[in-house]
Amino acid sequence: MKYQHIVHIVSERIKNDEYNFQYALPNQQELATEFGVSRMTVKKALDILKEEGVIYSSRGLGTFVVQHEKLQKISTYQKKQQTKQFSYLKQMLSFEKKHPHQLLQQQLAISAQQNVYAATFIRYRNERPYALEHWFIPEQVIPGITQETLEQDLYHYIEFELGLKLGDTSYTISAVVANEVDKLHLNCTDNHPILKVEKLSFLRTGCPFLYRICHYQAAMKSYQFFDAIKKNK
Amino acid sequence: MKYQHIVHIVSERIKNDEYNFQYALPNQQELATEFGVSRMTVKKALDILKEEGVIYSSRGLGTFVVQHEKLQKISTYQKKQQTKQFSYLKQMLSFEKKHPHQLLQQQLAISAQQNVYAATFIRYRNERPYALEHWFIPEQVIPGITQETLEQDLYHYIEFELGLKLGDTSYTISAVVANEVDKLHLNCTDNHPILKVEKLSFLRTGCPFLYRICHYQAAMKSYQFFDAIKKNK
DNA sequence: AAGTGGTCTAGACCACGGT
DNA sequence: CCGTGGTCTAGACCACTTC
């Protein structure tokens, strides 16, 4: 795929400040000539970089690099996450197969008669309790799950053992106070704030296969995401 | 733009169940013939629907509608938000021009000498205090702001009065406990949980122009977003 | 008028999944 | 093998911005 190569090269040039926000990039025809491809292929590569938020373009004006600030914020954020060198540990507290209660029936789009694998995990970060997670997986969609599957790599099992393709995950974030189970495992007291994240994962077909309720120690977790307000040109 | 028309027609057919998850869509050549366009134009339309999560396609197999569950969840969520018929009210508590402290200098990428408009709002939902927001806008980027600009429509001012193009907004979400100011205005007591959302908005050029710190009554707000886990084909 | 990016074409070839 | 979608071409025309 030639366009991926162009995406990579142009990304590198932006990182190396060969292209920067003060001047327009070479126009599409020049880039096409340089890379020995057609203009449409260049445009496809630039469209991907636009989607990534690295560049933008205006009819009649040209294509420009987005100013450093934004990218810096993202990269420094990621760097912070990496350089802190956290050690993570996931430990299973319970594992069972049961019938779903009403919330699960609704979220996983199944009936009360179908079985659901239910597991509870506690996560540690640098040996400190960090999150309490409840996982629910419909047996009909992802059959043959064992305790080991969940302790190792569920996604690998789904993709390579079952041959299913993964889709998107929906995140719903809210703030709550610690409940009794949280207080027991997350080492916190009354009225301790909790960042509650409900994650619903789908196969590529749109079938929901995993519902997670995750309670994070408020001080140890935040979520960041980007949102395009308007797509006006 | 022909491809937008095709996006619209195919969307309608999916909503009307003329295309559904049980069968593949007509192949790209058939659609091209039907709409009287080239195959590339059909593909561009389908790419947009893929990006929206409405369909997916496999080389060698065809193009398919994503199962209803996922879309239902999104649309029912939106419907819930709409049918609750909330009444919203935004009230300004303070407005001033000042020099930025260190956090603002960093977030807005400005120096300590530059001026920043600082405003505080309280939001009500159905007459109940709902959120407390602190807004910060660098004068150099968005000049000429008055109290009225902020009470009315800042985005309209930026786009149509100043002629600037808007870019993305970054959201950073965490959970905290109510501070003294929250307790005063949000009508809550000690250790009340707060959903804290930092919003940093950029112009299309990547220049940050608005930093907001928003404290929501935990019980009255949640955030939902989607994330592609992997783009494997 | 000149230069830019956005759209669209009519074809070609390739990679993949199923037979 | 065939049918599918993914990539790529070499051009054309259009919309927009600036001079």
Option in B67, B204, B228 nearest A56 (CB)? B204
Nearest to A169, CA basis, from A132, A210, A119: A210
| B158-204 confidence digits (pLDDT tens) | 998 999 999 989 899 999 999 999 999 998 887 899 999 999 999 99
* Of the listed ranges A68-77, A113-122, B64-73, B153-162, the one predicted with least confidence: A68-77
Q: Grade residue B59 by pLDDT with cuts at 50, 70 and 90.
A: very high
Beta carbons within 10 angstroms of residue A31's beta carbon: 21
Residue A227 has pLDDT above 80, yes or no: no
Q: Which residue type does B53 have?
A: G
C-alpha pair distances (Å), A24 with each of A3, A18, A27, A55: 20, 11, 8, 10
Residue B38: C-alpha distances to residues A10, A122, A144, B6 (Å): 30, 54, 46, 12
CA atoms within 13 Å, Cβ hemisphere of A59: 2
Provide the greatest CA pair distance for chain B. 66
Interface test with A, best of B226, B231, B232, B233 (most A CBs within 10 A): B226
Chain A contact set for B222 (CB, 8 A) = 172-174
Q: Which residues neighbour strand C (beta carbon < 7 Å)?
A: A 24-25, 27-29, 39-40, 43, 46, 57-63; B 1-3, 36-41, 44, 58-61
Task: Indicate if the pLDDT at residue A231 is higher than 50.
Answer: no
| Bases on strand C under 7 Å from any protein CB | 2-12, 15-18
Convert the pLDDT of each residue in B86-99 to its tens digit.
889 999 999 999 99
Q: How far apart, in whole angstroms, are the C-alpha atoms of residue A42 and residue A210?
A: 39
> Do the Cβ atoms of A180 and A153 come closer than 8 Å?
no
- Domain coordinates of chain B in residue numbers? 2-81, 88-220
For B88-220, CATH number out of 3.40.630.30, 3.40.1410.10, 3.40.720.10, 2.40.10.350 equals: 3.40.1410.10
Cβ–Cβ under 8 Å, residues B118 and B133: no
Among B196, B225, B230, beta carbon nearest to A225? B225
Q: Does B66 touch chain A (CB under 8 A)?
A: yes
Residue A73 has pLDDT above 70, yes or no: no
Does the CB of B76 sit below 7 A from strand D? no
CB contact under 8 A, A208 and B166: no
Measure in Å the smallest separation between the Cα of A48 and chain B Cα atoms.
12
* CATH annotation of A2-82: 1.10.10.10
Mean pLDDT, all residues of chain A: 90
DSSP string for residues in chain A:
-HHHHHHHHHHHHHHTTSS-TTSBPPPHHHHHHHHTS-HHHHHHHHHHHHHTTSEEEETTTEEEEPPHHHHHHHHHHHHHHHHT---EEEEEEEEEEE---HHHHHHHT--TTS-EEEEEEEEEETTEEEEEEEEEEETTTS-S--HHHHHS-HHHIIIIIS-PPEEEEEEEEEEEE--HHHHHHTT--TT-EEEEEEEEEEETTS-EEEEEEEEEEGGG--EEEEEES----
Q: Does B124 touch chain A (CB under 8 A)?
A: no
Tokens of B198: 């930092």
pLDDT the model gives residue B21: 86
pLDDT digits (tens, 9 = 90+) for A40-59: 999 999 999 999 999 999 99
| Per-residue pLDDT band at B75 (split at 50, 70, 90) | very low
pLDDT the model gives residue B148: 95
What pLDDT score was predicted for residue A86?
Answer: 83
CA gyration radius, chain B: 23
What would the DSSP string read from start to end of A97-138?
Answer: EE---HHHHHHHT--TTS-EEEEEEEEEETTEEEEEEEEEEE
- B51 CA, C8 C1': separation in Å? 21
Residue B61, pLDDT > 70, answer yes
Distance between CA B62 and CA A70 in Å, rounded? Answer: 39
**Spatial contact of B172 and B197, defined as CB atoms under 8 Å apart:** yes
Minimal-distance CA residue of chain B relative to A205: B66
Candidates A171, A73, A195, A68; CA nearest to B169 is: A73
**Whether the predicted pLDDT of B215 surpasses 50:** yes
Q: Show residues of chain A in contact with B173, CB under 8 Å.
A: 173, 195, 222-224
* CATH T-level topology, domain B2-81: Arc Repressor Mutant, subunit A (1.10.10)
**Does A30 reach chain B within 8 Å, measured CB to CB?**
no
- Residue B56's nearest nucleotide, by CA–C1', is D5
